[in-house]
Amino acid sequence: MSLINQTSRSKASLKPSSRRAETSRVYAHPLPIIFPEPTYKFLGLSLTRPLNPHCTALFDPLTRSAWVSSSGDATLLWQRGFFGKGDLSRSEPSWLARQINARKMKGKALTSEEITAKRRAERKQFKLDRAKAIAAAAAEAETAFNEQGRVIAPGIAPDGTRIIPSAATWKPTSAPVPSEKSPLDVAPDEEEDMEPIQDLEHLQLSLQEAFFLVWALDCLTILHPRTLVHLVFTQNVSFTLAEIWNTFQNAHIPSLVPQPNAPSPLRFDNPFLVSYVAYHHYRSLGWVVKSGIKFCVDYLLYKRGPVFQHAEFAIVVIPVYEDPEDQANSPFKLQNAEPFTWSWLSTINRVNSQVQKTLVLSYITIPAESRVSPKVLSSPACFVHYSVREVVLRRFIPARMRD
């Protein structure tokens, strides 16, 4: 049984306070690197050696991502920094745990995705029940007025109680039918007859996450894809840092097939470089950075992680050219590089305001080629020439901001 499944089973049997303590214990480390307690001291100085795991991922040029197939590496990267996303899950790679729960636990030990699906189904049922109650109350009031000439308050019973349900008092009317046979009473021979479930899920890392783990933390090894056009690599041949640097930049050029040894176009406005500058900036400040495509933004910032609270800030990356000539001669069409309309900005701001997120415009200044030589793009040392500025936007709602 995987560690994710064990964690989900233990969470289901704990009280809320104990569940929070268990969650804090499982996700205690913000990064894959762990700094243990000092083992010994020398001349008053505490000497310790950080524990740096080395995970393995496979580069996929079609999806512009790196795949972590090992369940142990996927669990480690998720629990220590919330890196990546399960390709068969909404976020946490819990596909195998859900399959085991469906087979053995009959839904008694729910994963985070199953709990979310259950709550969404209950909210949908509540809205349907409330709509039916409102329609029935309106029909009753109309009948009383037409037949008896009385005006009654819709939704109020003669004894003064409310007929229309509220979110605080409503309860699901249909409960799941309990199984006649407890899943814990399964005979050993029946368990042996069950075919083991093959874990088909992998952790999908974006190029920004993969490069951060490789370059900034040195805890990830990226392997060559098994087959590329005109090139066939043997298994377990890893990229060097220089090959990763060139390949990740070439991945954003549709006309080129990513080649490990091919030099990348020396341009400061490469989409990978611009997006990574923003990602590294917020990761280095202690934020957990996740994709924000669900809310029409580039990134979401979490204080501790998705299992603790919702994202507080939504980031829109806006590239700004230091030299307008570089933009005119650029082969890239960067998103949000052109002046945006107020209707677009109002739409994005409204979407994120409704989900209690603060919209942040992150301006990434792209250095001018006339000022900085393109030769510095041969290594990640070029990041020092970029700058990041933030502008926070809040949607003004007159009915809610009078106080």
| H, E, C per residue of the chain | CCHHHHHHHHHHCCCHHHHHHHHHHHCCCCCCCECCCCCEEECCEEECCCECCCEEEEEECCCCEEEECCHHHHHHHHHCCCCCEECCCCCCCCHHHHHHHHHHHCCCCCCHHHHHHHHHHHHHHHHHHHHHHHHHHHHHHHHHHHHHCCCCCCCECCCCCECCCCCCCCCCCCCCCCCCCCHHHCCHHHHHHCCCCCCCCCEEEEHHHHHHHHHHCCCEEEECCCEECCEECCCCCECCHHHHHHHHHHCCCCCCCCCCCCCCCCCCCCHHHHHHHHHHHHHHCCCEEEECHHHCCCEEEECCCCCCCCCCEEEEEEEEECCHHHHHCCCCCCCCCCCCCHHHHHHHHHHHHHCCCEEEEEEEEECCCCCCCHHHHHCHHHHHHCEEEEEEECCCCCCCCCC
My answer on whether 349 and 396 are in the same domain is yes
My answer on whether 221 and 275 are in the same domain is no
Measured between alpha carbons, how far is 165 from 149 in angstroms, rounded to an integer? 27
Measured between alpha carbons, how far is 206 from 193 in angstroms, rounded to an integer? 39
pLDDT at 254: 63
pLDDT at 16: 66
Q: Looking at 202, 282, 357, 386, which residue is catalytic?
A: 357
Q: How many separate domains does the chain show? A: 3
CA 259 from chain centre, in angstroms, equals 29
299 is catalytic: no
124 is catalytic: no
- Is 364 inside a domain boundary? yes
- Is 34 inside a domain boundary? no
191: region left, alpha or beta (phi > 0 left; psi from -120 to 50 alpha): alpha
My answer on whether 148 and 160 are in the same domain is yes
Measured between alpha carbons, how far is 36 from 34 in angstroms, rounded to an integer? 6
Q: Looking at 127, 132, 294, 310, which residue is catalytic?
A: 310
pLDDT at 2: 45
pLDDT at 123: 83
- Is 302 inside a domain boundary? yes
Q: Which residues contact 328 (CB under 8 A, 6 or more apart)?
A: none
- Is 35 inside a domain boundary? no
Are 358 and 313 in contact by the 8 Å Cβ rule? The answer is: yes
Domain edge (last residue) among 217, 234, 264: 264
CB atoms within 10 A of CB 200: 10
- Is 240 inside a domain boundary? yes
- Is 36 inside a domain boundary? no
Which amino acid makes up residue 163? I
My answer on whether 282 and 338 are in the same domain is yes
pLDDT at 381: 92
My answer on whether 282 and 397 are in the same domain is yes
My answer on whether 66 and 212 are in the same domain is yes
The pairing of strands 358-366 and 313-321 is parallel
My answer on whether 77 and 187 are in the same domain is no
By the 10 Å C-beta count (0-12 exposed, 13-18 middle, 19+ buried), 384 is classed as exposed
My answer on whether 107 and 176 are in the same domain is yes
CATH classification of the domain holding 357: 3.40.1350.10
My answer on whether 356 and 322 are in the same domain is yes
pLDDT at 297: 96
Nearest-10 Cα torsion for 381, 302, 286, 36: -120
279 is catalytic: no
Domain edge (last residue) among 184, 200, 216: 200
121-157 burial string, b = 16+ CB within 10 Å, else e?
eeeeebeeeeeebeeebeeebeeeeeeeeeebebbee
My answer on whether 79 and 121 are in the same domain is no
pLDDT at 265: 66
Are 316 and 348 in contact by the 8 Å Cβ rule? The answer is: yes
pLDDT at 148: 74
Q: Looking at 276, 302, 321, 386, which residue is catalytic?
A: 302
pLDDT at 184: 40
pLDDT at 141: 76
- Is 282 inside a domain boundary? yes
Measured between alpha carbons, how far is 271 from 336 in angstroms, rounded to an integer? 12
pLDDT in tens, the chain (403 residues): 444 444 444 444 556 678 888 889 999 999 999 877 766 666 667 677 788 898 999 999 889 999 999 999 999 999 999 999 999 888 889 888 888 777 766 555 666 677 777 888 888 888 888 888 878 877 777 777 777 777 666 656 555 556 677 766 677 765 544 444 444 444 455 555 567 788 889 999 999 999 999 999 999 999 988 644 444 444 568 899 999 999 999 988 765 545 555 555 689 999 999 999 999 999 999 999 999 999 999 999 999 999 999 999 999 999 999 999 999 988 888 999 988 888 999 999 999 998 999 999 999 999 999 999 888 999 999 999 999 999 999 887 777 776 6
Beta bridge pairs of residue 361: 316, 391
- Is 192 inside a domain boundary? yes
pLDDT at 273: 95
pLDDT at 230: 41
pLDDT at 193: 56
pLDDT at 1: 40
Residue given tokens 């008092």 in the structure block: 169
My answer on whether 387 and 281 are in the same domain is yes
My answer on whether 221 and 293 are in the same domain is no
Structural domain of 251:
50-83+206-264
Residue given tokens 């999806």 in the structure block: 63
Domain edge (last residue) among 244, 264, 284: 264
